[in-house]
Every structure is written in C-alpha cells, then in structure tokens.
Structure 1
C-alpha cells in the first residue's frame, strides 16, 4: 500500500509542479500586460513614452557635467518610476516625488523630492541613503512570481527592463561622454540607441517605424540569487563590443548555467541583475537583443556596471517574456534565430554590416529589438 502511494505521489508531483509553474507564468504575463497598458496610458497623457534616466538636476554642477551631490539622484531614476501612478501605485509615487523626512534613532535625514541615488540605497554603503525606503518597496507588478529572489542585499527587485535595441555603445552613457554632452557623443548615441527606449532621452510611438507589433518594448530578466548564475552576475569581457560572445569561455562546461570564473573585483552588489526597479543601471532595468534569451551577461569597461550583452532571461522553462510596443506579451524561446553572435553590433563610424542604419546582424532577435531599421519580419516568433 505504501509503495503504491509512493508511486502515485511520484507520478502526481511533477504534474502539480508543472501546473503551478504554468500559473506563475500566466501571472508573469499578466504583470507585463499591466505594464504595457501603463506605457500606453502614459503615452496618451504625455505623447511620449516615459524617460529612462530621469529626475531632478542638483543645484551645484560643474559646467555641463552631471551634478555631484550625494543627496540627489540626478537623472538616475528608471522609466518604471514614472509608471507608478499607472500601475495603481499612486501612494508610492507620492512618497517618491515629494521630500521625505526619516528619523532613525537620534539621526534625522531630510531627502529631496525623488530621493537619494538608488544604487547607494541598494549598496547600503552610505548612512545618508540607507533609510530612504521607497527604493526598497517591492512592487508586485514589477516581479515575476517564478523568480524566487527576495530581499537584501538587493532592494526593490525588478524582473522587467526597457529594451535598448541591438547595440552596446552608449548603453550606460546615453548622449554623453563620461561626464559631458557634446556633438560626437550625441552622434554615437543616436547611431546605437535603436530600441524603444534610450537613456536620458524619450521616444514616442511615432518613432517606431517598424511597427508597434514588431518591436520589443521591454524584456523579462532574472534577479540575482547570489549563486553566480550566468544571467544575473555579469562577467567582464573587454572585447564584447566587437565580439558579443566574448564571455562564453568563462562559463562552466559541466554546469552551463553558472560561471567558471570568479566575479570581477568591481562586480559590486548594485550591478547584479534586477537589483532595484527604481534605478537606471543596465543590469537593473535594461536589456538588449544581441545574445538570445538566457545567455550570459557580459559587460564592457573597467567594471561590470557598463554596457554589454544584457539579454532577457527568466525562471520559466525554455525562454522568457517580452513586451511588444503594442502591448502584446510574447514568449521568446531560447532557440530564436539570432544571427551571428561573433559579429559586433551597429556602431557610429563603422562600415559594412555594422554601419549606422544597417539591418541588425542578430537575425530575427535583433530585428525585433530595433524600432526603425526597416527589417521585414515575416515569420512566427
């Protein structure tokens, strides 16, 4: 009798687990639909999509450079902050958009409207920002129920990020050099920022010439669990701008979902994937369409907070959700046709297949990420 019960449990348990995951996947899709509706309502109100990289500019600045005050986040807020009133989070929006006075023990801190720098909040490295709680608030609409990540060291986790397109250049700078805006930086940025969203700039539906139903607006991503997963803990690949699969050699062959190498010394907590829905950092709330879903994240530069291959990922089996610009949610499989991942992306000053305005070198996947490259999409995805 016990043996029979054991066999029945063994047969039923996988079915129950599959049914639960199916329900979680449907809930994730519904969250994305809510975000899509919020984007459309925002666009109806303001004739633009929300800006990724927004917030007040501090009073003291150095010429045209970004401000330096620690108590101002100076354009470090994500597009999701602007969407709060449109996803039934008006109370949280009011808390963020107004000055906040916080008392902790004998210390009272007064934060300006829109708060402190989000990544200082998450890293908890500075006393002045550790008590600014709005960034730590979990917003259910921004979370996939299949993702088990919860709580510190990340704060206010997010499983959805805006799509930059099929490029890497200026993903972490927008139309700036390291500190200032100039004509060349503007040109380099415009050549690379081919997706629905850029950084520190706004786009509108009229800019999406490839069609709202053919263009990815946002993508799903895992949040970091501290297990050095290839989709959540970035590794550094100095040549990734010319070879997007540059970090693939660091993957553990016997455990292909995890890294073989140790994190880079500058792989700070706040660079981990999905760390904070309120922040603008690439790993937190951005993605691109270079490597196919659930491939490794590989960053450029001297630390892992820079641009790179921040592809979509999920805890669902076999792929990840994307939100199309028309509000539809599609599930993209890991096997989607993605061109040649050894070829560098389109970039200012390049020729041939990498020349500005060229069709994406990353096949159907790359074409879905661009808003105006005029690729014809005539196949199912």
Structure 2
C-alpha cells in the first residue's frame, strides 16, 4: 500500500523565534562592525598625522627651522580691503601652507607660490604670489574672484572620522600646531604687517607667552625644544564645526573677565547645556556665542588664527572653546576629535600618540604665563607649566621632567 506523508511547514511561533534570533545576532554584530570601521578611521587619521610629522622633519632638514605659524607677504594694502583683496596676506599664513610641498601637495604649492589668475565679470585679474589675506570672506571672494588654493580641501589635513564638509568652511583642517600653555598674542601682531619688523612690546609678549613648539610670526626650530622632541607636542587634532553649537567648535565669549588672567576661563562652563554636556546652551547668559558662520573651528587651513590652526595645552582635550569678544582675538582652544575618549597628538620626534580626555591638567583656573599686565603676577616666563602634565607636554623649554606619559 502507498504510504501518505504529510508536508509540515514552520509554525508562526517558530518563524517569530527565528526572526528574533536573527535580530539579536544583527544587534550584536552591528556595534562590532561600527567599532571596526572607527578603528580603521582612527588608524587612517594617525597615518595622516605621521605624514605631517615626516613633512615637518623634511622641512626642518631643508630650511633648518620649522614652518612659521604666521608668514607670507607684507605691505601697505594688507590684502584686506573689500574693494580689492588681491594684495598681500598680512603675514597671516599658517604653518600648514609652507608644509604643502612636503606632504605631496606640490601642485597646490605651485598655485600658491605663483601669481594666480581669476576671471571676474569677463575681466582677468591676478592674485599676487602667496595669495591674499587668508581670512577673506566668501562675500569678498564673490565680488573679487575666488582664490582657489585657500578653499581647497587637502586630503592629508582631514581626519576620516570627522564628517564636516562644505560651506561655509573654505578649506577644513583637522590638524593644528601647538602654541603652548598661553594664548596671549596668538592672533598675531608680533611683526609689523607693513615692514615685517618686530612690533615693539607685542613682539616681546609673543616671545614670553608663546611657549610651544610654534610661536606666532616668529621662527622656531628643533634647537629651541630644550625639553626634548619626544617630550614636546608639535601639533594636535581638532574637530571641525557642524553648525550644532558644539562647545569644541564654536566660541563662547566669557563675560565678565579676560582669559589671559583667568587661565582656562572656567566662566564659560556655566553656559554648557546640562542636558547635552558636549554642547552650548541655547540661552548661554551671561556669556554669549559669537563670531560669524565662517569663524568656526578648523574652517580655514591657510589662516594662522587660533580658531583655525592652533591648539593650546591649557584645558584638556575635548574641552570647550572660550574667547574674548571675537574670533580673531585671544581664544583658549584645546584639541578635540570625533574619536572616543581623546585625541591624537604629534610629538616632536614624529611619534603620534593618543591622549585621553582625563590626562592630568593641573589647575585650569590659574592665570596664563606671560608678561602683559593682565597676566597673573606669579605666572612669569621660565616657570613650569601651571597645567600639569598636559601643560608640560605643550611647552618646549620649561625644564619639566616627564616620566609618566
């Protein structure tokens, strides 16, 4: 006799169990995939920094100095006039500009170091060699012709973990040079923009207060790093602004007080949103958010200004930006990143290290080091950094012994 076999399918309960198991497996797998991707991005970021370190060493081997944070052309026009900004650049080019031919950006360097032609309303006009003022606004570019090198995004200057792109940034950078543990004169002015000669007391202030590997508008080299290249931070990672009031990328104006005498200027911290501690409050009184949409962290790789291409070892990594009145003035600008828990820093010997947010950073309320009348009377040049291990790593010649880094 022929046997009858019944065909049996999955029951609804069995299907639901299988779907639930698959969901759990996917839930377990996705974080691992995301972690692997971030690890790859972090390694790529570290490799970019190593290339910058190699470029700095090759530059020093060629010129026996580091690229100056604040170099370029000078003259009476100052390259800033809205009527015609194609003149000189006011000695305000960042160290990254001179580094271009040493990080495989020779083609871009050729554009910068030679006259650059633009066509405006059918008329050909020419920017001088070394370009215009790097803080020229997009509005002025619209009427005078865009200087392409300054608005070029250089791949070697970008961290893959940073999603920032597009306007109103002109050319983003995720790497900034270290100016030490005091931000006095970090906006420039050590040299006269007309003559290029030392600018009186401002020159003296810059030499006294800027204790990092880079001094704004003043030449430095390996010979100046008496604490040792392996003990001195040359550059740090910064994250660029996304237009979301991130405390690390948009400046809060301290009110009242001056950050030179108030150290890390902890008064800005009262304006952090308690529900979202990485962001500023929407009502930050008595402080105030300021600066234009173009004046945000990392927005102009060619400019020397601290908001764009400088970092300080005053507040620890991923702390807030705090300034005085405007983005071109004095700003406490710590390094920051999109990596979890810390930032990459480039040491003078070319090593790239990851510094955690919890690094020992002394007393952030102490006044910064310098000779201006606003500085704390005890914070005079030659003292050890008041900002602990973090401050010691940022200074080039303060005679600190570093044994636990």
Cα distance in 1, alignment partners of residues 316 and 144 from structure 2: 37
Q: Does residue 12 in structure 1 map to residue 33 in structure 2?
A: no
Partner in structure 2 of residue 53 of structure 1 = 70
CA contact (8 A) 1:109 1:128 kept: no
Can you list the C-alpha shifts for 1:263-308, whole angstroms capped at 9, x where unaligned? 95751133200001111111110110000000000012x3132122
3-state DSSP class of the match of 1:271?
Answer: coil
Q: Displacement of 1:176 after TM fit?
A: 5.3
Partner in structure 1 of residue 50 of structure 2 = 33
Cα distance in 1, alignment partners of residues 140 and 278 from structure 2: 30
Partner in structure 1 of residue 398 of structure 2 = 373
Partner in structure 2 of residue 358 of structure 1 = 383
3-state DSSP class of the match of 2:354?
Answer: strand
Change (3 A) 1:176 1:84: closer
Alignment map for 1:261-300 (pairs within 5 Å): 261=283, 264=288, 266-300=290-324
CA contact (8 A) 1:174 1:198 kept: no
Cα distance in 2, alignment partners of residues 96 and 146 from structure 1: 28
Cα distance in 1, alignment partners of residues 350 and 395 from structure 2: 16
TM-score w.r.t. the length of structure 2 is 0.87
Cα distance in 1, alignment partners of residues 308 and 148 from structure 2: 17
Residue segments in structure 2 that go unaligned for 5+ positions in a row: 1-17
Can you list the C-alpha shifts for 1:44-97, whole angstroms capped at 9, x where unaligned? 000000011111113x36xxxx67653221212111111111111100000111
CA contact (8 A) 1:96 1:134 kept: yes
CA-atom RMSD in angstroms: 2.0
Change (3 A) 1:40 1:107: same
Larger radius of gyration: 2
Q: Displacement of 1:114 after TM fit?
A: 1.6
Partner in structure 2 of residue 241 of structure 1 = 260
Partner in structure 2 of residue 92 of structure 1 = 108
CA contact (8 A) 1:236 1:304 kept: no
Equivalent pairs counted in the alignment come to 373
Partner in structure 1 of residue 6 of structure 2 = none
Q: Displacement of 1:7 after TM fit?
A: 1.1
Can you list the C-alpha shifts for 1:114-163, whole angstroms capped at 9, x where unaligned? 22222215x43453455211111111110000000011110110000111
CA contact (8 A) 2:53 2:346 kept: yes
TM-score w.r.t. the length of structure 1 is 0.93
Change (3 A) 1:29 1:183: same
Change (3 A) 1:150 1:165: same
Q: Displacement of 1:183 after TM fit?
A: 3.4
3-state DSSP class of the match of 1:24?
Answer: helix
